[in-house]
Structure 1
């Protein structure tokens, strides 16, 4: 049931985002469009409530509950960036705006380290949600499965740090014919 809620929330997030951008750019209603876009974070709050209600109602934690915490952490930490990316794509496609330049060299390395900070935030949020659920439920026999998320969170953060280190040591080169800067 929690897995279904995660899928529904993911779909609702993208429906709110893409629907809002369509209303903003295609229907020419920028305020209404942005109001719809800002519904996307509400989806995360609903998922968190659903997970808490499930566990407080006597449910036993599974990896789905941990996945929900990770989803919420990533959505909060990376949500603004995802929305800005989608907005830029819509602006390019429907308003003729210039496409964003992909960073290379030092700019890409800096972007990688900013992602490490975002991933650290996502991991901290997910860990906080899991820890909070364990404390609030107060039944270790029903929540012990959630503790298995912590090594996964460390692995996710470790991979992102390795990614950033690799581009610090070997910066991304520009495509042939493209000037740096």
Structure 2
């Protein structure tokens, strides 16, 4: 049941995102589109509640509960970033807005961008670990090894992403000869 709900939440995320952007830019109903986009966190709350109820009803803690925590952590951290980026592209394509700048491709600007993405991954891992720790304490003396294993999975993902982000800092990619990297305004995101 939890795996099916995770899949439904992911599909629901993209359906709400597409519907929100379509209503916002194609139908020119900005408030209604924004309301649809703001409904997306409700999906994570439903997944959290169903997972907690599943554990409370005596379900053996398993990989599906760990996966639910990782999914929630990822969407809490990367969801707003994804919505902002796609909103910029929709405004450009559907409403004639300016083309949103892409991520920097070279040099220290790229390293800074990768560092910000890594911080998002660290935040996602922290949220997932906190949810998993709460589940471990909620279950009590039950078999919680799989939940502990998912905590290590979240920490490993953050560490691997950190190593990858560090490579951009240590060995920044140089712009090809004759091409200058445009000066970009550094924004959070």
The interval holding the TM-score normalised by the smaller chain is: over 0.9
Per the TM alignment, residue 176 of structure 1 is displaced from its structure 2 partner at its CA by 6.7
Paired residues of 1:88 and 1:100 also in contact (CA < 8 A): no
Counterpart CA distance in 1 for 2:146 and 2:34 is 38
Length-normalised TM-score, structure 1 = 0.93
- CA distance 1:16–1:145, change in 2 (3 Å): same
- Residue of structure 2 in register with 1:106 after alignment: 108
- CA distance 1:151–1:34, change in 2 (3 Å): same
- Residue of structure 1 in register with 2:186 after alignment: none
Structure 2, unmatched stretches of 5+, are 184-189
Paired residues of 1:109 and 1:164 also in contact (CA < 8 A): yes
Residues 143-152 or 20-29, more deviating: 143-152
- Residue of structure 2 in register with 1:87 after alignment: 87
Structure 1, unmatched stretches of 5+, are none
Higher helix share: 1
Select 2:142's aligned residue among 137, 140, 149: 140
Residues 54-63 or 100-109, more deviating: 100-109
Paired residues of 2:89 and 2:99 also in contact (CA < 8 A): no
Counterpart CA distance in 1 for 2:91 and 2:177 is 26
Residues 110-119 or 45-54, more deviating: 110-119
RMSD value over aligned CA atoms?
Answer: 1.5
1:1-150 superposed matches below 5 A: 1-96=1-96, 97-103=98-104, 104-141=106-143, 143-150=144-151
Length-normalised TM-score, structure 2 = 0.90
Aligned pairs, number: 180
Paired residues of 1:14 and 1:40 also in contact (CA < 8 A): no
Counterpart CA distance in 1 for 2:174 and 2:39 is 38
